[in-house]
Amino acid sequence: MIYPHTPITHIEGVTANRATLLASELGIKTCADLVSFFPFRYIDRTQFYTIKELEINQSEVQIVGKITHVKTVKQQRGSRLVATFSDATGTIELVWFKGMQWLKDSLKINEPYVVYGKTNHYKGRFSIPHPEMELVKNYKKKVQSAMQPVYPSTEMLNNKGISQKIMRTLLYNTLRQLNPQLQETLPASFLSTAAMLPKKTALYQVHFPETQALLAKASYRLKFEEFFYIQLQLLQQKQLRKSKLKGYPFAKVGGYFNSFYEESLPFELTGAQMRVLKEIRKDVSANTHMNRLLQGDVGSGKTIVALLSILLALDNGYQAAFMAPTEILAAQHYTALTTLLKETDINIALLTGSVPAKKRREIHAALEDGSLHILIGTHALLEDKVQFQNLGLAIIDEQHRFGVAQRSKLWKKNTLPPHILVMTATPIPRTLAMSVYGDLDISVIDELPPGRKDIQTVHRYDSNRLAVFQFLKSEIAKGRQVYVVYPLIKESETMDYKDLMDGYESIVREFPPDGPQKYQISIVHGKMKPADKAYEMARFVKGETQIMVATTVIEVGVNVPNASVMVIESAERFGLSQLHQLRGRVGRGADQSFCVLLTSVKLSSDAKTRLQTMVETSDGFKIAEVDLKLRGPGNIMGTQQSGVLQLKIADVVHDGDILQKARTMAIALLEEDPLLEKPENQVVLKAFIAIQKRTGLWSKIS
């Protein structure tokens, strides 16, 4: 008897050699592995070509014709067998380099054959090396699905003779032998209400589809199932975390929160900000631990949400930490919060690498005796010397700059882990968030504060540089400030620094300090000392300089409302999300803002798509979707190690709707039957346990 866990050596046609190869090359060991090794495309074997119709660079073709002549051609090394093959419209050659003697004896002259293979084109003639051959009279008798599966393969498999034809045979045999033991893995109600194919049918049809329509239904069913069980795992993980992990309850909304909310809030919160705040309050008010990711486009107003959450912590007698990836950003948060809280008795300090030792010791002491309420800073916050009296909430801005290890240090800063709010302006596409962060709580600010003007974005070639400079002059004349950003992909690349310095010099030439306008220019880059950086930045913030020449150090968070023009040099070298982040530095004030993307004329098609997307939209989520399509899910920030993305048939980029449906149905199922105890859900429980055993995904995620 053959079961899913039976080794493939029990399948007809799987020799020990083949089994070893399939295991080492494709990781296929059991029958279950083999039947869930899916074709990546299909060839339509209902379609025939005439020789006249053949085109150069065509993929596989199928032709009916007759062999008129066979000869052996001697060549320098070995020889080859060449058959002349004709139909009514023309003649091609069929060529073999192996098995010639046997072929020579068995090939039938002047009998109709179906030949199938990939064409070569050389000196005006087509040939097919090693074609698949079948006499027409046998072709009709053979079990042949109209759409023939093509399986992923490797060079090694090809060289060792495990051809597509053999893969098809092995799959066919496995499905046939396994058939009595193939169990349904979804509840009956799913199949009836969602009109899904039964598992057996789906597996057959995905490997040997009878029609296009059945193939579509089969692959839908299998993709759904794949997503469904991943979602079930993630959701269970979340349930588990919520029931096990305790947090400090912020039971009351007190004086700090209320008086700030009523008297000092400088604007009305947007609907999205209010919704997110409610979500956070719900998390922290109970005895459970908050681990929430807050996504919101640049300028969507995350800071105020962070502040209000901090006030909740303070109202309940806890301290709060606010960590940013750079000194500039930390300093900006510090300034913003001290300004907003100036009417209160709340103590705030800034801790970064450049804080002198004496001041540092004061901060440490005030943290430990509880007189310091809010600590803002960089990585410096994580040092062991930084001990809080009672840390209740940690906010992490731009999470992708911090590693997991660093985050876990924050967890250990109090007896129970403080509540964690991670904020990011790099939107994660919905589908990706569902699969990678499916066990986290996610909040989204999907609404910008009122009155924001869209940033006018244009793409210009380097040759238009003079016109761009002219435009900058006219904007500066109106009192605005300008960023000019250079790519600096790696801090170490001296070439990039040379570009930056050359650019800086040409701008100084174009905008002379001793001319009638008396232009002032700042420059900031990663190789400068922190104090020099801060000094230049401060000059720009105060409006003493009109142009800020910089590298991507200004990418995150910097807020200068009067800066309304962003020029990005060599824009084709930036990734889409980085371009979007950079552009977010402008459009922060009342003036119409602009973003100019300067590039050379030679652009790859991906670069063109990136630039066009930037020109067309400023919606961070749309941009993230395009980015995902261009780069694939494995390259998006923070998802690299995720086992959740190692999918067999589904694909987060193209199957977002199926994923959404699977998640919704998994949520509904767990709500009704959290422990999968009902008789009708035993099929789910069984499949779930089997998957966990097989993949070990469970332990990988946690």
Q: What residue ranges bind Mg ion (CB under 5 A)?
A: 557
Asked whether position 425 contacts ligand ADP by CB under 6 A, the answer is yes
Kindly tell me which of 431 and 559 has the beta carbon lying closer to ligand ADP. Answer: 559
| Among residues 199, 223, 289, 302, the one that binds ligand ADP under rule CB under 6 A | 302
Partner whose binding site includes residue 418, from ligand ADP, Mg ion, none (CB under 5 to 8 Å by kind): none
For 297, residues 6+ apart whose C-beta sits below 8 A from its C-beta are 425, 427, 445, 448, 584, 619, 620, 621
| Amino acid letter for position 65 | G
From CA 55, how far away is CA 558, in angstroms rounded? 56
Structure tokens at 49: 């070509």
Kindly give the interhelix angle for 656-672 and 212-244, rounded to the nearest 10 degrees. 50
Q: Which one, of 309, 327, 322, lies nearest residue 386 by Cα?
A: 322
Asked whether position 449 contacts ligand ADP by CB under 6 A, the answer is yes
Smallest distance, Mg ion to C-beta of residue 333, A? 8
Kindly tell me which of 4 and 449 has the beta carbon lying closer to ligand ADP. Answer: 449
With contact defined as beta carbons under 8 Å apart, do 312 and 257 qualify? yes
Q: What number of chain residues touch ligand ADP (CB under 6 A)? A: 16
Three-class SS state of 487: coil
Kindly tell me which of 18 and 333 has the beta carbon lying closer to Mg ion. Answer: 333
User: How far is Cα of residue 386 from the mean position of the Cα atoms in its chain?
Assistant: 35
Give the x/- contact pattern for ligand ADP in 522-561, rule: CB under 6 A.
Answer: -------------------------------------x--
Smallest distance, ligand ADP to C-beta of residue 307, A? 9
Smallest distance, Mg ion to C-beta of residue 302, A? 5
Surface-to-core class of residue 640, CB atoms within 10 Å of its CB (0-12 exposed, 13-18 middle, 19+ buried): exposed
Structure tokens at 382: 């994580």
Three-class SS state of 320: strand
Asked whether position 296 contacts ligand ADP by CB under 6 A, the answer is yes
Partner whose binding site includes residue 273, from Mg ion, ligand ADP, none (CB under 5 to 8 Å by kind): ligand ADP
Three-class SS state of 86: strand
Partner whose binding site includes residue 304, from ligand ADP, Mg ion, none (CB under 5 to 8 Å by kind): ligand ADP
CA angle 249–254–255, rounded 5-degree value: 150
Question: Residue 572 to residues 203, 322, 665: CA-CA distances in angstroms?
Answer: 44, 34, 42
Kindly tell me which of 203 and 310 has the beta carbon lying closer to Mg ion. Answer: 310
Kindly tell me which of 429 and 557 has the beta carbon lying closer to Mg ion. Answer: 557
Kindly give the interhelix angle for 682-695 and 212-244, rounded to the nearest 10 degrees. 80
Partner whose binding site includes residue 231, from ligand ADP, Mg ion, none (CB under 5 to 8 Å by kind): none
Partner whose binding site includes residue 102, from ligand ADP, Mg ion, none (CB under 5 to 8 Å by kind): none
Asked whether position 270 contacts ligand ADP by CB under 6 A, the answer is yes
Query: Which range binds ligand ADP by CB under 6 A, 89-97, 299-307, 323-331, 657-665?
Result: 299-307
Kindly tell me which of 303 and 613 has the beta carbon lying closer to ligand ADP. Answer: 303
Smallest distance, Mg ion to C-beta of residue 557, A? 5
Partner whose binding site includes residue 449, from ligand ADP, Mg ion, none (CB under 5 to 8 Å by kind): ligand ADP
Query: Which range binds ligand ADP by CB under 6 A, 17-25, 266-274, 542-550, 670-678?
Result: 266-274
From CA 323, how far away is CA 237, in angstroms rounded? 27
Kindly tell me which of 336 and 690 has the beta carbon lying closer to Mg ion. Answer: 336
- DSSP assignment letter at 571: G
Asked whether position 299 contacts ligand ADP by CB under 6 A, the answer is yes
Three-class SS state of 46: coil
Give the x/- contact pattern for ligand ADP in 658-687, rule: CB under 6 A.
Answer: ------------------------------
With contact defined as beta carbons under 8 Å apart, do 166 and 22 qualify? no
Kindly give the interhelix angle for 302-315 and 271-285, rounded to the nearest 10 degrees. 30
Kindly tell me which of 557 and 587 has the beta carbon lying closer to Mg ion. Answer: 557
In the block, which residue shows the tokens 């889409």?
Answer: 576
Smallest distance, Mg ion to C-beta of residue 300, A? 9
| Among residues 273, 564, 570, 599, the one that binds ligand ADP under rule CB under 6 A | 273
Partner whose binding site includes residue 6, from Mg ion, ligand ADP, none (CB under 5 to 8 Å by kind): none
From CA 123, how far away is CA 137, in angstroms rounded? 34
Asked whether position 269 contacts ligand ADP by CB under 6 A, the answer is yes
From CA 402, how far away is CA 670, in angstroms rounded? 33
Q: Which residue is nearest to ligand ADP (CB)?
A: 301
Structure tokens at 335: 């300034």
Three-class SS state of 420: strand
Q: Which residue is nearest to Mg ion (CB)?
A: 557
Smallest distance, ligand ADP to C-beta of residue 222, A? 40
Query: Which range binds ligand ADP by CB under 6 A, 88-96, 189-197, 268-276, 387-395?
Result: 268-276
Partner whose binding site includes residue 298, from Mg ion, ligand ADP, none (CB under 5 to 8 Å by kind): ligand ADP
Asked whether position 298 contacts ligand ADP by CB under 6 A, the answer is yes
| Among residues 267, 495, 506, 518, the one that binds ligand ADP under rule CB under 6 A | 267
Partner whose binding site includes residue 299, from ligand ADP, Mg ion, none (CB under 5 to 8 Å by kind): ligand ADP
| Among residues 301, 417, 418, 503, the one that binds ligand ADP under rule CB under 6 A | 301
What is the side-by-side order of every strand in the sheet holding 112-118?
Answer: 120-122, 125-129, 90-96, 79-87, 60-74, 112-118, 132-135
With contact defined as beta carbons under 8 Å apart, do 100 and 79 qualify? yes
From CA 652, how far away is CA 665, in angstroms rounded? 17
Which helix (H) or strand (E) element contains residue 96? strand 90-96
With contact defined as beta carbons under 8 Å apart, do 330 and 376 qualify? yes
Tell me which residues touch ligand ADP (CB under 6 A): 267-270, 273, 296, 298-304, 425, 449, 559
